[in-house]
């Protein structure tokens, strides 16, 4: 796990004080919401994809789902998820700890507009028992992420 690299990135942006380590698992949206004491939508879930031009991650609102049509319109290809150990190999983080910080070189980072329903949000921080509490502006600044719209509207 690359928690130290995540902490180093957060520290570089003056955000290390936002890092939280939980005594329980936060590997799913539901578990993360319980651990953080917030509603599931406030969890900033990071999804991994394989694209023809390389791996990407998209950070979305915890209860959002990828809209396949919007994804295809945005990236000009179907959404393809990496499987099992392929996630660590492509992105640099394990399933349950995938986050938009300290990813492998060449991984492009996107932020879905669904996140704008909540501020602050809680993305994972590289392990299945941690998170970081960030405003949307801080998340954008610390990740260099590009805003896109590829999720289904969640009611």
What CATH number does residue 91 fall under? 3.90.960.10
- Per-residue pLDDT tens for 112-127? 999 999 999 999 999 8
Query: Which range marks the domain in which residue 113 is found?
Result: 3-148
Bridge partner residues of 43 (DSSP): 122
Q: Flag whether 155 is in a domain.
A: no
Which spans in 3-108 are helix H?
Answer: 3-12, 29-36, 68-75, 85-91
- Tally of domains within the chain: 1
67 in a structural domain: yes
**pTM of the predicted structure, to 2 decimals:** 0.94
Q: Is residue 16 part of a domain?
A: yes
Has residue 13 been placed in a domain? yes
Residue 136 domain-assigned? yes
Residue 154 domain-assigned (yes or no): no
Q: Could you tell me if 90 and 105 are in contact, meaning their C-beta atoms sit under 8 angstroms apart?
A: no
153 occurs within a structural domain: no
How does pLDDT run across 39-48, given as a tens digit for each residue?
999 999 999 9
- pLDDT for 154 equals 64
Q: If we measure between CA atoms, which residue out of 14, 18, 30, 12 comes closest to residue 125?
A: 18
Residue at 95 is within a domain? yes
Q: What is the pLDDT of residues 48-101, one digit of tens each?
A: 999 999 999 999 999 999 999 999 999 999 999 998 889 999 999 988 889 999
């Amino acid at each position: 796990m690359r928690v130290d690299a995540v902490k180093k990135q957060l520290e570089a942006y003056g955000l290390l004080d936002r890092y939280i380590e939980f005594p329980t698992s936060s590997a799913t949206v539901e578990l993360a919401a319980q651990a953080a004491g917030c509603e599931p939508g406030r969890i900033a879930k990071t999804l991994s994809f394989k694209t023809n031009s390389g791996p990407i991650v998209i950070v979305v609102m915890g209860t959002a789902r990828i809209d396949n049509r919007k994804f295809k319109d945005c990236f000009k290809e179907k959404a393809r998820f990496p499987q099992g150990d392929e996630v660590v190999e492509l992105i640099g983080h394990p399933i349950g700890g995938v986050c938009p910080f300290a990813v492998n070189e060449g991984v492009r980072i996107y932020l879905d507009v669904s996140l704008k329903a909540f501020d602050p949000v809680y993305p994972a921080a590289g392990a299945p028992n941690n998170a970081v509490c960030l405003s949307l502006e801080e998340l954008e600044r610390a990740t260099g992420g590009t805003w896109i719209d590829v999720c289904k509207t969640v009611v």
